[in-house]
Structure 1
Amino acid sequence: MDVRPSPRRHGRSVVAALALGATAVLALAGCSSPGGSGGTEEQTLTVWFPGTNPDEQKLVNDTLVPRFEEETGAQVEVTFVDWGDISTKLNSAFAAGTAPDVFGHGPAAAADFVANDRILNLDDDVANLSDDDREDLAAALPGGQVDGSQYLIPLSLQGYLVMYDAEAFAAAGLDPDDPPSTWEEIRDAAETLTERDGSGAITRSGLLLPSQALARQQSFLTLLAGEGGTLLDEAGSEATFASDEGVDALDFFAGLYSGDDAVSTGLGEDYLNAPAAQQPLVLGTAAMTVQSSSGMEKILEAAPDKDLRVMPALAFGDNDPAAFGGAGPGLMINSDTDHADLAWEFITYMLSPDVGTEYTEGIGAVPVRASAAESDYAKNSPVISMFLSQTDRFVANPNVVGWTQVRDALDSSIEQALNGTPARDALESAATETDEILEANG
């Protein structure tokens, strides 16, 4: 893929290090000091965060940003934009020349911004972090790279693991202290855990995987990676998911919902985003569900009397365990900003150990730093500690130009397979469309 280099930053000055109070302890080179040349006292930084999470808005607006402003003397104007509108509003803002200095998005969007020269290359900035910082962030940084160069700095990690009802396991004669470690074993357990009424209709699903739009593509990737398969080739130019591994993964997914031995009900329903009190594990309408870390935390709050636990990532057979996940949403710097130094200063503030942990704890997400495993946040949360222990097993969607189009094409074909189309036919159709999209964007 041909990626054009980003423009040089405006007014860039170099200093040896920056200390942002007691909380921001990243050693940096390439940032303006608050009181030196290019100082920040009179600068105003515009920042857009994706999403409208009330907890995140309160934390950022009432605590984190005021602290940054006090430490730097700068002003920060923060806007939260609904996920469904963020891409459209950013495109309009870029066209009008009013795009923010810093903006957030999911990692999968980075390649398109790079291809259109919208964001700055951050390789030099990352290289100037200390060796300890880069090692601490090793699980997160690759998710913000395009063609090996850093463009997005993740603020959290994300992923999906299986949460299960230990009491349901015990009642069904299964050992909750020795849960399944492969997808074959989890399928067997799901058959034992599934309950039906007199007509044969499922009243408690043994296992639920997200099967609604877009989330089903992430479920497929979890299964595909567990089979040892991949979505694209190493060059990111050709689909590889229409493989035997892909067919087996999709057949497994579809088989959960179909046939006399189905173990799941509610195909296409969005249980992931249901209120915590309405989650299948809370209601007892499922014994195992795939969930995000934040979803699990909310479920535990809603059902404090239930014995709910988290499994590590799973595999098929002797393959390496894997699950969808990796870098979560992160921040990028507008290539046309006049405040590149201040923008990087803000990002590193958000990334610093104390602030980063405070931010992820506030939104129930997984911290980007490995060292966060020693924080009270992780130690006091079996969910977060499990997710942190699995970061090397998370597999992300690829950062290639045109990925969102590829994802949508694959998602549509997965939907067809879940509703009866043979898995190989569905995947081969999606692969043909994928190759055309990648070639057009190459």
Structure 2
Amino acid sequence: MTRTLLGSAAISLAVLSPALAQTEITFFYPVQVGGPLTEVVDGYVAEFEAQNPDITVEAIYSGSYTDTTTRALTAARSGTPPTVAVMLATDIFTLIDAGVIAPLDEHITTPEDQAWLDGFMPAYLASARLDGHVWGAPFQRSTAVMYYNKEAYAAAGLDPETPPATWDEMVAHGRALTLRDASGTVTQWGLGIPGSSNAAHWLFGALVAQNGGQLSSEDGLHTFFDSPEVIGALEYWVSLGAEHGIHPPGVLEWGTTPSDFMEGRLAMAWTTTGNLGNIRANAPFDFGVAAYPGNPDPASVLGGGNLYLFADASDEEKAAAFRFIKHMTSDDLLADWGIQTGYVAPRDGSWDTQALQDYVAEVPQADVARRQIAVSVPEISTYEGQRVNEVLNAAIQAALTGQQSPADALTAAQAEAERILAVYRD
């Protein structure tokens, strides 16, 4: 299903209109998940330009989320910032501390603007609020979900309509789903949870929440890596491979997890709702999407990116960029974006559109993430977010590879994270 862009008459009108003063804005967009996302975004940009012939948008596809943030910060410090960019919601502390973004709510000047802002789901808008301001607009938001191979479930004697609801059930299902050939080599792993550096801290946050813990404080000034709940969550993750034999050894790569699942190497896979479009288009088998299990209460983690406005843009550029942000976060566009990609539309109004209602009726897997929001927690977010996440990811990987015990790895990580954050508490 593809959103219909403006008709040729409207585009011709824009071309034939008298010359208008052009405002040029640059838009950094991270290409992070599978699927032809650039073509979809190009279509949204073309639609906006047709509706706003006085504004030109240069869309720059800037790599991963980490690449995009690094590139945007570097450009801002050199005096050539983008006007608007999609960056992680968790980058908010770093971006404000660097002084490179402007409050978005300064452009809320009409009842229409306020209605647009109020239309975002509170769970997602909360990640954009800090120090009395709204700093970003939720765009490509997600929760982490579990994809599972229904055909593998049936072959293992499991009910394809009943995914695991607890940690113990996930282990039991994983044992039934793990297959070995005559030599003992695993041909299908029961479960895969990516532990590479661009995913470990995010998915680990879900495990921690399921175990009753949290990774960081709301003010971004403290971490809790050495708490019993956090250590217990990592011990469970390690046990999936070391004790239960249902998870690949070592660190599973985020980027290859969708293909590992679609090619039958994983029967259950933890990843983002943003991979739904890719998996739906390419999986050669019937699959399900499930909410995460619990220990005992289920929980997932919110994720994804917000649209940020850069502080050093001119007033004209900021005004144009705000119009662009509103376009990119309209009910209809976010509904279409969810259909195209699998991201969760972060506006209730999007879910009321006929397009998204029809899609959910056809693809009920798409509604799992929305229903899971109620039990989802914010992603870890602190000052010096990239450095703190690197410390946590290194600890997770040290435990997954057997270099350190979960307790030793996380105790050391906690000490280092608190050392990094100490300067912000003074």
TM-score above 0.5: yes
**Mapped partners of 2:188, 2:49: distance in 1:** 51
- Deviation for aligned residue 1:382: 2.3
- Residue aligning to 1:382: 364
Out of 36, 39, 56, the position equivalent to 1:58 is 39
More helix by proportion, 1 or 2?
A: 2
- Deviation for aligned residue 1:199: 4.3
**Mapped partners of 2:32, 2:209: distance in 1:** 31
Matched residue SS, 1:309: strand
8 Å contact 1:122–1:151 — kept in the other structure? yes
Out of 282, 290, 299, the position equivalent to 2:262 is 282
- Deviation for aligned residue 1:148: 5.5
Structure 1 runs of 4+ off > 6 angstroms?
none
- Residue aligning to 1:428: 411
- Residue aligning to 2:237: 253
Aligned length: 398
**TM-score between the two structures when normalised by the length of structure 2:** 0.85
**Mapped partners of 2:367, 2:334: distance in 1:** 16
8 Å contact 2:120–2:138 — kept in the other structure? no
- Deviation for aligned residue 1:194: 1.6
- Deviation for aligned residue 1:183: 1.6
Output one character per residue of 1:276-313: Cα deviation in whole Å (capped at 9) or x when no partner. Answer: 6xx23333222211122232332232234x22111123
- 1:262 equivalent to 2:245? Answer yes
- Residue aligning to 1:33: none
Mapping 1:31-430, distance limit 5 Å: 41-51=21-31, 55-61=36-42, 63-73=43-53, 74-83=55-64, 85-125=67-107, 129-131=113-115, 134-147=118-131, 149-259=133-243, 261-270=244-253, 272-274=254-256, 279-304=259-284, 306-317=285-296, 319=297, 321-326=298-303, 328-338=304-314, 339-374=317-352, 375=356, 376-420=358-402, 421-430=404-413
Matched residue SS, 2:36: helix
- Residue aligning to 2:17: none
**Mapped partners of 1:428, 1:126: distance in 2:** 45
Matched residue SS, 1:206: coil
**Mapped partners of 1:250, 1:211: distance in 2:** 11
The percentage of aligned residue pairs carrying the same residue is 26
- Deviation for aligned residue 1:428: 0.8
Matched residue SS, 1:218: helix
**TM-score between the two structures when normalised by the length of structure 1:** 0.82
**Mapped partners of 2:136, 2:114: distance in 1:** 18
Amino acid across the alignment from 1:358: D
- Deviation for aligned residue 1:202: 2.5
The 3 A distance-change label for structure 1 pair 200 and 332 is: same
Q: Alpha carbon RMSD of aligned pairs, Å?
A: 2.7
8 Å contact 1:214–1:408 — kept in the other structure? no
Amino acid across the alignment from 2:309: I
- Deviation for aligned residue 1:135: 4.4
**Mapped partners of 2:21, 2:376: distance in 1:** 41
The 3 A distance-change label for structure 1 pair 191 and 334 is: same
